[in-house]
Amino acid sequence: MSNVLLVDGPAGEPAAPSDRPSDGEALDAYSTVVTAVARELAPSVANLRVFRRVRGGRRVSGGGSAFVLAPDGFLITSAHVVEGSASGGVASFVDGRELSFTVVGSDALSDLAVLRADASDLVSAVLGDATTLRVGQLVVAIGNPHGFAGSVTAGVVSALGRSLPVRSGSAQRVVDNVIQTDAALNPGNSGGALVDGRGRVVGVNTAVAGIGLGLAVPIDDNTRRIISSLIADGRVRRAYLGIAGGARPLPPRVVGRLGRDRAIEVVEIVEGSPAAQAGLRPEDLLVEAAGVALRGVDDLHRLMTEEMIGRRIELTVVRDGEERRMWITPRELVTV
């Protein structure tokens, strides 16, 4: 029986160890970026154990991730991670620290929450700007589902401008400009950071959209305002009109007059609401509010900011094929 010699080079010429690339040389540009971002962000990402009281007085815990907003203990996570928590929980970091935290403020209609941990020397992450992202750009999803070892997945931005339906009590809204990525979101990574190649947080990982697809709430000017409101007031104030409706094409003769083809059809009016007091009726078509064109319900949601509460605004309404002007004063949305 003959002997078989296995070699990894030409027969009779064993490869010299010095001819092989070093570990550093073997890292391509993609790997270099991912490893650098993971190393930089790992100290800023925490595992959350969230305590909730249930019937019978028992305390149970859920979990998720968060990232550090400021060294003095402020953390950002997803609102659904801390939903129902009255007593906070424990945040664990990769350096072995376990810190108690409380919920400063939570906003289910943006799926964002601010926490405060008992610390003054945390390593804060740098916030970026999701509006600069491009489809195909490298992003890294970083969470901490297990406590003392971060979880890192990498991928690309697969779509921008997605919408995420959210609900709080009877109130419904959509989160605009959600980032879709193929960086896998592992269990427990909700509330963690979505980071660009320069190590800046551009999103808060919030949901799995399907096999191989994740969604993240973008970090942009609107998100920053929500975070500031949660820190200052513990909540986000929004205006509401008190209607239920949906997008509908305008009649052709109205299209010619107004120069637009869609509006919001009023389906239902909430009793005693600003819409009822203004005299709106089911089947009215809302074309414009405060000078802003309304093509769908999302346009109205974007308009109903804190600045609109108590402000008398003009509506352009089409009723029975005729255009008319009406006035309405939005009130504060109560989500309890």
**Active-site residue list:** 80, 111, 190
DSSP letter for 41, please.
H
For 87, residues 6+ apart whose C-beta sits below 8 A from its C-beta are: 51, 52, 53, 59
How far, in Å, CA of 290 to CA of 88, rounded?
Answer: 41
Say if CB 260 and CB 254 are below 8 A apart.
no
Per-residue burial over 12-27, b = 16 or more CB atoms within 10 Å of its CB, e = otherwise: eeeeeeeeeeeeeeee
Residue type, 149: A
SS3 content of the chain, % helix, strand, coil (to 5): 20, 40, 40
The answer for 310, left when phi > 0, alpha when psi is -120 to 50, beta otherwise, is: left
Helix (H, G, I), strand (E, B), or coil: what is residue 36?
helix
Helices assigned H by DSSP within 234-287? 252-258, 274-278
Q: Which pair of structure tokens corresponds to residue 5? A: 């010699």
Say if CB 88 and CB 115 are below 8 A apart.
yes
Q: Which pair of structure tokens corresponds to residue 265? A: 């059809």
For 290, residues 6+ apart whose C-beta sits below 8 A from its C-beta are: 303, 308, 313, 314
How far, in Å, CA of 336 to CA of 235, rounded?
Answer: 12
How far, in Å, CA of 119 to CA of 144, rounded?
Answer: 18
